[in-house]
A and B are shown apart, each in its own frame.
Chain A
């Protein structure tokens, strides 16, 4: 069963982190990612560029598009990265989320990915 782990955190925090702490944190993510690989549950995972680089797009019912700078919605904790993991069940996904360094300085949201029946 595939799950999306969304890593939410205060994205301004990263830029204010002293270099040695930032380095330690990268090490923590590297170790976590490696552990996901070693456990055979890693499907995908990336770190995202800062929310300031985001653009949010909407198209209304009458076809009018609006594009605004920044993420939607604007909150203190922003999506900063994600993992997709393939594990046996929801409990296992939650326990992997707890191990994610992002859970120690933000929130990791665990969501099952809906299985789409594959066409024959």
Chain B
């Protein structure tokens, strides 16, 4: 019955695929990202209008290219200045056409483009937004909302970042195979930032809110297609698939938030979890562990709930220890403290948590207060736990999470503290 939305999804996927490829190609050769974006904008918009109705053309790249070239040459005739500006771009478009006629496809330079987006000159927090715009063609307003930034500010920052790519010189970086794994880490970090946008932020809400999980998974698959043997790339994809697999179980039928330990695991996407597990096994064969493989392994341990079993907390703590050594962050340390609480009891967890709080400013970090509240409740410190739940609720962006935390506080006020739940789920891909 939903043939329209399904057709739209297929068309959108194809259009973004071609858009990213063409933009990377044209920008790399013309050295002008803005002009290339400009030339492709209308073509991309009309593709999103027409393809869902007419079907995806047999050669989407060619469709977009022809449509973009029309626009490009229209402009030339009108505007001499634009001609100079677009001259290199027009030449690039002719190259692309030739490429296409010869090989039936346009060279895929998206990875080089992704490297450009994650170059050292680009501020780390702008890498994911830039990639979403340049590789997938998302508009600034949508990116801004996902990252909880005012659209005008986001547009401005995107423009500045693009200028930096241009200033770094073209063609885009050619990366030698030796250099690949170092460079790819920055790309993977940006993809993960897109996945957890507005989610791993201080509010700690889940990917339903970020709304970019699908796009990030797509970027992850794209990188995995280009470098199928890179273990960290496979690890990131496994991590995102695990977290995304639980999406439907994070809300009950009334829309209320359900923490990980209480989720109906039959709502988990089994196919995605199986895929994640097999990716993780493939990654392990390379014997090059890394941050994303460890994080995926932790998610894999949580997946034990599927079989009605408590996760192996000792293994999870060990994995967090490993993670702390290679990619330590307050978030990792916080997650580790929660796992310590489950393994050695709430007082041990609280001690570990205090240790994190001493070293980092977590005052406005929602998951910190949610985790603290859980641990305090488990030790019977009801008044303190109540305050911490309230504090976490006050820092929540997601109304379902806020409601859940307030409910926890309320229950403390009227009844015995219940068993600790993972209200802190939001801070990790729970």
List chain A positions with a Cβ less than 8 A from chain B.
24, 27-28, 30-36, 38-39, 90-91, 94-95, 98-99, 101, 103-105, 110
Q: Is residue B395 within 8 Å, beta carbon to beta carbon, of the partner chain?
A: yes
Minimum distance in angstroms from B200 CB to a CB of chain A = 13
B153 cross-chain contacts in A, Cβ below 8 A? 90-91
A38 to B388, CA, bound (A): 11
A98 to B201, CA, bound (A): 12
Minimum distance in angstroms from A92 CB to a CB of chain B = 9
Minimum distance in angstroms from B408 CB to a CB of chain A = 12
Contacting pair B403 A99 (CB below 8 A) = no
Q: Is residue B53 within 8 Å, beta carbon to beta carbon, of the partner chain?
A: no
CB nearest neighbor in A for B198: A98
Minimum distance in angstroms from B398 CB to a CB of chain A = 8
CB nearest neighbor in A for B147: A91
Contact with A along B138-152 (1 / 0, CB 8 A): 000000000011100
A36 to B397, CA, bound (A): 14
Contacting pair B391 A35 (CB below 8 A) = yes
Contacting pair A95 B393 (CB below 8 A) = no
Contacting pair B148 A95 (CB below 8 A) = yes
A112 to B391, CA, bound (A): 26
Contacting pair B148 A94 (CB below 8 A) = yes
Contacting pair B148 A101 (CB below 8 A) = no
**Docked complex: B351-366 residues within 8 A CB-CB of A:** 363-364
Contacting pair B402 A101 (CB below 8 A) = yes
A101 to B406, CA, bound (A): 12
B409 cross-chain contacts in A, Cβ below 8 A? 27
Contacting pair B363 A38 (CB below 8 A) = yes
Minimum distance in angstroms from B396 CB to a CB of chain A = 6
Minimum distance in angstroms from B28 CB to a CB of chain A = 32
Q: Is residue B295 within 8 Å, beta carbon to beta carbon, of the partner chain?
A: no
Contacting pair B391 A38 (CB below 8 A) = yes
Most chain B CB within a 10 A radius of its CB, from A28, A38, A99: A99
Contacting pair B394 A34 (CB below 8 A) = yes
Q: Please pick, from A27, A36, A99, the residue contacting B203 in the complex, using a CB distance under 8 A.
A: A99
Q: Please pick, from A24, A35, A103, the residue contacting B394 in the complex, using a CB distance under 8 A.
A: A35
Q: Please pick, from B202, B399, B406, the residue contacting A95 in the complex, using a CB distance under 8 A.
A: B202
Contacting pair A32 B406 (CB below 8 A) = no
Q: Please pick, from B149, B394, B406, the residue contacting A99 in the complex, using a CB distance under 8 A.
A: B394
Closest 9 CB pairs of A and B: A35-B394, A31-B394, A104-B399, A31-B393, A32-B394, A98-B397, A31-B390, A39-B364, A35-B395
Contact flag A101-B363 (CB < 8 Å), given A90-B153, A95-B203: no
B202 cross-chain contacts in A, Cβ below 8 A? 95
A104 cross-chain contacts in B, Cβ below 8 A? 399, 402
Contact flag A24-B393 (CB < 8 Å), given A39-B364, A90-B150, A90-B153: no
Contacting pair B399 A101 (CB below 8 A) = yes
CB nearest neighbor in B for A37: B394
Contacting pair B391 A31 (CB below 8 A) = yes
A35 to B394, CA, bound (A): 5
